[in-house]
């Protein structure tokens, strides 16, 4: 049955071409101008400016890229050095093939139902071991004038992967502004919960609200990121609007969506999937091809956006060993999965 399914548009090989071209252009712009503001890339096609960039016209498009963002709803952001050689996952797949169980367990449910969630205005409750606690508007948590892009690999524990151009800010700076104390050894996150707006939460699939956590040194690592956008525009609700975590060296479920609470705690916090199946999902959840899930291998992954048989080898820490391996020196990563 699986093989007779009509392929989704993004499952065709040619679907890779446009995002790949944009990705190369982005790098050329950055190489030419350093960390210039690359503005106004909206949706999959990109802005006229950027989509028409070619190797021969790099100089002129660098100038164009310095223009302020057009009044398109797109975000203004700077490029950074965080990228990967793999092609970007087409935006239709990034926004149409999702895990956001609050809206249903099928991959197409979040795109169909997440619009029912109200995300504006948005506030985040900050509590626990920190100098500044209380309820903060999203704009006071995330500095929207300091957004940057990060192209990260996302590896779901279900053995599929994507490459996504996120827009956001490093998590470390966000956490530091709350002045965590020495007792803050972990940071815990909680997802918004409204049973009327999130139809999936009317069923006891997980113990709602969805919760996640990191050890403080993991949270302070340069790779840990708070995203408010992707593909140059604000986050679609199904991807965790208006603000979600992105922890690229860990399985996707650590990257908690639609965050409404940040807690600085002294004990390792509970996490949604660990509570549901502790044998299958640990607290650390670092991508590790050597630790099989009890029900399937983690050695390879299906590359979403390629054809159905497009697989790649899964890398330790999802390919981010250089940045994060030191966090786990001396730890048994099979036991501490």
Interaction site with ligand MTE (CB under 6 A): 98-102, 154, 156, 191, 210, 239-240, 252-253, 255-257
Q: What minimum distance in Å lies between the beta carbon of 217 and ligand MTE?
A: 22
Q: Which residue, 122 or 129, has its beta carbon nearer to ligand MTE?
A: 122
Strands 123-128 and 259-265 turn out to be parallel
Q: Which residue, 95 or 221, has its beta carbon nearer to ligand MTE?
A: 95
Backbone region of residue 190 per phi and psi (left: phi > 0; alpha: psi in -120 to 50; beta: other values) = beta
Cβ(216)–Cβ(27) below 8 Å: no
Cβ(49)–Cβ(8) below 8 Å: no
Q: What minimum distance in Å lies between the beta carbon of 259 and Mo ion?
A: 17
Among 90, 213, 252, 282, binds Mo ion (CB under 5 A): 252
Q: Which residue, 49 or 237, has its beta carbon nearer to Mo ion?
A: 237
Among 189, 192, 208, 253, binds Mo ion (CB under 5 A): 253
Q: What minimum distance in Å lies between the beta carbon of 70 and Mo ion?
A: 34
101 binds Mo ion (CB under 5 A): no
Q: What minimum distance in Å lies between the beta carbon of 15 and ligand MTE?
A: 17
156 binds Mo ion (CB under 5 A): yes
Q: Which residue, 10 or 129, has its beta carbon nearer to ligand MTE?
A: 10
Q: Which residue, 69 or 272, has its beta carbon nearer to Mo ion?
A: 272
Is there a binding annotation on residue 286? no
180 binds Mo ion (CB under 5 A): no
Q: Which residue, 10 or 101, has its beta carbon nearer to ligand MTE?
A: 101
Task: Give the per-residue SS3 of the chain.
Answer: CHHHCCCCHHHCHHHHHHHHHHHHHHHHHHHHHCCCEEECCCCCCCCHHHHCCCHHHHHHHHHHHCCCCCCCCECEEECCCCCCCCCCCCHHHHCCCCCCHHHCCCCCHHHHHHHHCCCCCCEEEEEECECCCEEEEHHHHCCCCCCEEEEEEEEECCCEEEEEEEEEEEHHHHHHCCCECCCCCEEEEEECCCCCCCHHHHCCCCCCCCEEEEEHHHHCCCCCEEEEEECCEECCHHHCCCCEEECCCECHHHCCCCEEEEEEECCCCCCHHHHHCCCCCCCCCECCCCCCECCECCCEEEECCCCCCCEEECCHHHHCHHHHHHHHCCCCCCCCC
Is there a binding annotation on residue 237? no
Is there a binding annotation on residue 271? no
Give which of Mo ion, ligand MTE, none residue 98 binds (C-beta under 5 to 8 Å, depending on kind).
ligand MTE
Q: What minimum distance in Å lies between the beta carbon of 10 and ligand MTE?
A: 13
Stretch that binds Mo ion, among 40-48, 98-106, 275-283, 312-320 (CB under 5 A): 98-106
Q: Residue number with the shortest CB distance to ligand MTE? A: 252
Q: Which residue, 29 or 243, has its beta carbon nearer to ligand MTE?
A: 243
Give which of ligand MTE, Mo ion, none residue 166 binds (C-beta under 5 to 8 Å, depending on kind).
none
Is there a binding annotation on residue 124? no
Q: CA dist 252 to 74, 154, 163, 205, 296, Å?
A: 25, 6, 12, 18, 16
Is there a binding annotation on residue 257? yes
Q: Which residues are annotated as a binding site?
A: 98, 101-102, 156, 191, 239, 244, 255-257
Q: Which residues are annotated as a binding site for Mo-molybdopterin?
A: 98, 101-102, 156, 191, 239, 244, 255-257
Binding residues (CB under 5 A) for Mo ion: these are: 99, 156, 252-253
């Amino acid at each position: 049955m699986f093989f007779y399914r009509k392929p989704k548009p993004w499952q065709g090989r040619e679907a890779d071409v446009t995002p790949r071209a944009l990705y190369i252009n982005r790098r050329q712009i950055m190489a030419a101008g350093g960390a210039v503001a690359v503005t106004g890339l909206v949706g999959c096609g990109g802005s006229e400016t950027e989509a028409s960039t070619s190797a021969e016209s790099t100089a002129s498009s660098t100038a164009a890229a310095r223009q302020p963002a057009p009044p398109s709803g797109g975000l203004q952001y700077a490029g950074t050095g965080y990228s990967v050689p793999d092609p970007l996952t087409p935006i239709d797949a990034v926004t149409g093939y999702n895990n956001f169980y609050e809206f249903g367990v099928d991959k197409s449910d979040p795109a169909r139902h997440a619009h029912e969630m109200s995300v504006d205005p948005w506030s985040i409750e900050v509590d626990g071991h920190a100098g500044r606690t209380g309820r903060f508007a999203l704009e006071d948590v995330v500095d929207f004038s300091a957004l940057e892009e990060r192209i990260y690999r996302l590896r779901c524990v279900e053995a599929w992967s994507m490459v996504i151009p996120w827009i956001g800010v490093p998590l470390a700076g966000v956490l530091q502004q709350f002045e965590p104390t020495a007792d803050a050894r972990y940071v815990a996150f909680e997802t918004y919960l409204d049973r009327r707006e999130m139809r999936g939460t009317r069923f006891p699939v997980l113990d709602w609200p969805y919760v996640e956590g990191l050890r403080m040194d993991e949270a302070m690592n340069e790779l840990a990121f708070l995203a408010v956008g992707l593909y140059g525009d604000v986050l679609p609700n199904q991807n965790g609007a208006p603000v979600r975590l992105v922890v690229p060296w860990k399985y996707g479920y650590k990257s908690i969506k639609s965050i409404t609470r940040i807690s600085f705690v002294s004990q390792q916090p509970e996490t949604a999937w660990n509570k549901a199946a502790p044998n299958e999902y640990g607290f650390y959840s670092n991508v590790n091809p050597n630790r099989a899930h009890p029900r399937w291998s983690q050695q390879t992954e299906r590359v979403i956006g390629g054809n159905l048989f497009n697989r790649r080898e899964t890398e330790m820490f999802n390919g981010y060993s250089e940045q994060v391996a030191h966090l786990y020196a001396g730890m048994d990563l099979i036991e501490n999965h």
